[in-house]
């Protein structure tokens, strides 16, 4: 049985970047967790999370998640040609 308003999981291709614009802020924490897991499984050492510039709320949420994640070695603003402070580059620890 499906209740009205229930949403089905969405399959997202795993690449070395993830644009967070289409997602609701309430979905960002679990999304980042699963994304980093999948990236590490694929052997990525560096990925980029695109959160936009806006008010900075999403950037703050993303970085709070990254700061607590044991898979993350470090993170920083993306270079200007890759989004500047509208994106965060994440360096993953080796498995």
Torsion of CA 62, 68, 74, 77, to 10 degrees: 20
Per-residue pLDDT of the chain (95 residues; tens, 9 = 90+): 444 555 666 676 799 999 999 999 999 999 999 999 999 999 999 999 999 999 999 999 999 999 999 999 999 999 999 999 999 999 999 87
CB 48 within 8 Å of CB 84: no
CATH 3.30.1370.110 fits 17-92, yes or no: yes
**Residue length of the chain:** 95
pTM of the predicted model, to two decimals?
0.87
Round to whole Å and give the CA distance between 10 and 54: 25
CB atoms within 10 A of CB 66: 17
Sketch the domain layout of the chain as residue ranges. 17-92
């Amino acid at each position: 049985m499906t209740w009205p308003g229930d949403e089905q999981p969405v399959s997202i291709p795993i690449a070395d970047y993830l644009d967070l614009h289409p997602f609701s802020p309430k979905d960002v924490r679990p999304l980042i967790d699963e994304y980093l897991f999948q990236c590490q499984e694929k052997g990525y050492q560096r990925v980029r999370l695109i959160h936009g510039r806006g008010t900075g709320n999403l950037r703050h949420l993303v970085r709070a998640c990254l700061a607590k994640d044991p898979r993350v070695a470090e993170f920083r603003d993306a270079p200007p040609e890759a989004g500047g402070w509208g994106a965060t580059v994440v360096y993953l620890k080796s498995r």
